[in-house]
Amino acid sequence: MSDENELKNGNISEETESCSCTLNDTEGDDPSLGINAQKELKANKLSDNIKIMTPGKLILKRFFRSKLSIAGLIGLAFLFLFCFLGPAFSPYGEIEKVGATRVVETIFSYTVTDPGTGEEITMYEIREAIVTNKTPPTWQNWLGTDIYGYDVLTRLMYGGRISLILSFIVVFAEMGIGIFLGSLAGFFGKWVDQLIMRLVDIFNCIPTLPILLIAASLLDSWQIAPEVRIYYLMGILTIFGWPGTARLVRGQILSLREQEFMVAAEATGLTAKRKIFKHLVPNVMPQLIVSATLGLGGIILYESTLSYLNLGVPFPYAAWGSMIGLASPSSGSGREILQSFPNLWVPAGILIVMAVLSFNFVGDGLRDAFDPKAKR
Q: What are 199-212's pLDDT values in tens digits?
A: 988 888 888 778 87
Report the DSSP beta bridge partners of residue 120: 113
Model confidence band, residue 128 (pLDDT cutoffs 50, 70, 90): low
Mean pLDDT of all residues in 47-76: 78
H-helix or E-strand spanning residue 164: helix 152-188
Model confidence band, residue 2 (pLDDT cutoffs 50, 70, 90): very low
Predicted local distance difference test score (pLDDT) of residue 33: 52
How far does Cα 210 stand from its chain's mean position? 24
Secondary structure letter of residue 342 according to DSSP? G
CA distance 63 to 59: 6
Predicted local distance difference test score (pLDDT) of residue 21: 42
Residue type for position 31? P
CA distance 119 to 195: 88
pLDDT (tens digit per residue) in 211-246: 877 887 787 788 777 677 778 888 888 888 888 888
Predicted local distance difference test score (pLDDT) of residue 372: 57
Triad 174, 270, 197: Cα angle to 5°: 35
Model confidence band, residue 11 (pLDDT cutoffs 50, 70, 90): very low
Predicted local distance difference test score (pLDDT) of residue 49: 57
Nearest residue to 72 via CA among 60, 84, 63, 61: 63
Model confidence band, residue 304 (pLDDT cutoffs 50, 70, 90): confident
Nearest residue to 171 via CA among 242, 84, 75, 249: 242
Model confidence band, residue 73 (pLDDT cutoffs 50, 70, 90): very high
pLDDT at 306 over 70: yes
Predicted local distance difference test score (pLDDT) of residue 80: 93
CB 303, CB 319: distance < 8 Å: yes
Torsion angle of C-alpha atoms 173, 176, 179, 183, degrees rounded to 10: -140
Q: Give the mean pLDDT of the chain.
A: 77
Domains of the chain: 2-50 (no CATH), 59-94+151-370 (1.10.3720.10)
pLDDT at 1 over 70: no
CA distance 159 to 150: 13
Length of the chain: 376
Mean pLDDT of all residues in 16-35: 46
CA distance 170 to 92: 29
Burial class (CB in 10 A: 0-12, 13-18, 19+), 212: buried
CB 242, CB 177: distance < 8 Å: yes
Model confidence band, residue 332 (pLDDT cutoffs 50, 70, 90): low
pLDDT (tens digit per residue) in 134-190: 888 888 888 888 888 888 999 999 988 888 888 888 888 988 898 889 888 888 878
CA distance 320 to 368: 31
Predicted local distance difference test score (pLDDT) of residue 76: 92
- 363 or 314, higher pLDDT: 363
Report the DSSP beta bridge partners of residue 127: 106
Predicted local distance difference test score (pLDDT) of residue 317: 81
pLDDT at 108 over 80: no
CB 299, CB 204: distance < 8 Å: no
pLDDT at 77 over 90: yes
